[in-house]
Structure 1
Amino acid sequence: MFIPGANLIPSLLIPALGISGLSGLQEQLSQCPRPPVTSCSADAGGADSCCVVTPGGVLVHAQFWDLGYGVADSWGIHGLWPDKCDGTFYENCDSSRAYSGGQITQLLQDSGNQDLLDYMNTYWIPNNNNPEAFWAHEWATHGTCVSTLEPNCIANYQEGAEVVPYLKTVVGVFQGLDTYKALTSAGITPSHTKTYRLDELLQAVESATSYVPDFVCKGKTLSTVQYYLNAVGPLQNGQFLPSHATRKSSCPSTGIKWPPKELGN
């Protein structure tokens, strides 16, 4: 199942959301400046926060490799986190919009996004196998901090109208940054015996995506990859450019392990 997204190197472009019942978001986009303002740029400081992601202008997209969960030939979605341009970050920005997992599922279904919900239930699942709680955590912790999705930015706002655009954007970014394909296309494959150098992992992903990620290891075993993006216009506009890293890799320079997933064991 594919939720439309396209990687236009070096930018990342996710086609229009096309979410029914959210005309208020389209009205917002029509009122933002053209060309759109890029987050963390010189123009971002004076721009309307409904039209540029601020102050969390570096979007960290994290994917994880959980050995017993998800899809064997794909990394899993962790989230999309708005770090500030200086590398600091903030979380849990609006407890009044901390919707439950059940509410999020209902919002997806009511807005005609069953395909998106099915995709999330396949690729956006945690290692405790409670995806609804995970989505609720990611939304409350990070989604509520996206300035362009605040209720005052949406004409004729109705409760929860901002959630589906955030989720769809996260999924679109994930699909545009296919870590598994980037690595395996360079001959880097999951293995119980092989080990890899950090520089060859980085080169493989940069060559495939034009994004320079960092990798996080548990000991010497790969666990997470993080990409850094700037949003061009509102987050839900779906346009991104590579950004500077705000976090650091924890993997050693050599001897990195990438074991295959052991699903169903």
Structure 2
Amino acid sequence: MLLLMALSPLLFTLGVAVDCSPYTNTISCSAADADPCCVPAAGRFVFRQRFEPDAGDKGSWAIEGLDVLECDGSPATRAGPSLTHEEIGSLCARAKDFDGEENEAAWATSEVGEGIEEVWERAWSKAGRCVTSLCDGDKDVPRFFDSLLDLHKRMKVGEALEHAGIVPSTDTMYRLEDIEAALTAYGEPVLLCDNGRLTHVLWQLHARGNLAGWVAADHGTLKTTCPADGIVYPRSTVPLPTSTTWDPIYRPSMRPITLSHDENRRVKYDDEGPAQKQLGFFKREDERRAGEYYGQDKYRDEL
């Protein structure tokens, strides 16, 4: 019974077409009488971006998720139905204007080896189904993820930090106030660190109308976990590929292959003439040798 009462505002609005034109620019938590199908009833949000140092050449800031809170900062109490990752994937794939590749690339990789469908299933279960203004049935799921993608593209954390001279480094540390100052154009960032290493930026927001836009909320109770100085903006831990230079290989010039009996390779030598005569008992042998070989052509194969 308590669950039904909690869901009743949402279930009621799902079955009735509502004119939301009067609430187009209404900021969540600013009008208690606003229709929950036009302006989120749980109207305080925390958008989470996580730095992945091993993504790309210089690391990348990616979507980690969204927290949906009641206007007093407590967890949202109203929720629609849960969906499996197969259902979420099917609804997104059928949406005409949904860019699956761009949406997938914008999300941080799972730390437990999940695929993007499981990551989205958790995001919908935790946040998407708690946004009361998602009242359009099958269109709600892709619209929820598209709205987070648009918000992520607006919060260009990496570009803002780089513009301020804050880049991933192994030998440079940064001050908290410098990092916060670089991001104030987007609101009041809440920085999270792990052992002095910058890991997350959180943004506290209100929605404008039915997720038509976002505005910064007050700082609330969230606090930074980064030190005042000595913050490390980590570089990639994956070693860069090394380039290897090889000495050139020179091939000998080609030459035709011929057989040993090829006439072109037979070399004719000049006639050696009569053998040199020697004295003594070698004389007769010299005469015999001269008579046997004199005047004959002698050849040999040139290898």
TM-score bucket of the superposed structures, by smaller chain = 0.7 to 0.9
Q: Figure out how many residues of one structure are paired with residues of the other and give that number.
A: 222
Change in 2 beyond 3 A, CA 1:92/1:120: farther
- Counterpart of 1:241 (choices 209, 215, 220) is 215
Could you say what secondary structure the match of 2:146 adopts?
Answer: helix
Change in 2 beyond 3 A, CA 1:86/1:183: same
Deviation at 1:179, TM superposition (A): 0.4
- Which structure exhibits the higher relative contact order, with contacts defined as CA atoms closer than 8 Å and separated by 6 or more residues? 1
Change in 2 beyond 3 A, CA 1:133/1:263: farther
The range that moved more, 69-78 or 138-147, is: 69-78
Which runs of structure 2 are paired with 1:188-203 in the superposition (5 Å)?
A: 188-203=166-181
Quick check: 1:60 aligned with 2:46? Answer: yes
Counterpart in the other structure of 2:63: 77
Check the 8 A contact 2:51/2:59 in 1, yes or no: no
Deviation at 1:37, TM superposition (A): 1.6
Quick check: 1:228 aligned with 2:204? Answer: yes
Which runs of structure 2 are paired with 1:59-208 in the superposition (5 Å)?
A: 59-69=45-55, 72-90=58-76, 93-94=79-80, 97-113=81-97, 116-124=99-107, 125-127=109-111, 128=113, 130-149=115-134, 153-154=135-136, 157=137, 160-206=138-184
Q: Work out the CA distance in 2 between the residues paired with 1:34 and 1:233.
A: 6
Q: Work out the CA distance in 2 between the residues paired with 1:136 and 1:256.
A: 33
Runs of 4+ residues over 6 Å off in structure 1: none
Could you say what secondary structure the match of 1:61 adopts?
Answer: strand
Which runs of structure 2 are paired with 1:25-44 in the superposition (5 Å)?
A: 31-34=20-23, 36-41=25-30, 44=31
Could you say what secondary structure the match of 1:126 adopts?
Answer: coil
Check the 8 A contact 2:128/2:144 in 1, yes or no: yes
Encode CA deviations 1:45-102: one digit per residue, 9 max, x unaligned.
1111111111x212211100133457744301112222222222237833xx322223
Could you say what secondary structure the match of 1:45 adopts?
Answer: coil
Encode CA deviations 1:17-38: one digit per residue, 9 max, x unaligned.
xxxxxxx9xx75x533155321
Q: Please, what TM-score do these two structures have when normalized by structure 2?
A: 0.67
Check the 8 A contact 1:71/1:122 in 2, yes or no: no
Check the 8 A contact 2:53/2:59 in 1, yes or no: no
CA RMSD of aligned residues (A): 2.4
Counterpart in the other structure of 1:51: 38
Q: Work out the CA distance in 2 between the residues paired with 1:82 and 1:88.
A: 9
Check the 8 A contact 2:23/2:38 in 1, yes or no: no
Encode CA deviations 1:191-213: one digit per residue, 9 max, x unaligned.
1111111111100001xx34111
Structure 1 counterpart of 2:215, one-letter code: L
Which consecutive residues of structure 1, in runs of 5 or more, have no partner in the other structure? 1-23
Check the 8 A contact 2:103/2:146 in 1, yes or no: no
Q: Work out the CA distance in 2 between the residues paired with 1:228 and 1:36.
A: 18
Q: Work out the CA distance in 2 between the residues paired with 1:84 and 1:91.
A: 8
Give % identity: 27
Q: Please, what TM-score do these two structures have when normalized by structure 1?
A: 0.76
Could you say what secondary structure the match of 1:80 adopts?
Answer: strand
Counterpart in the other structure of 2:235: 260
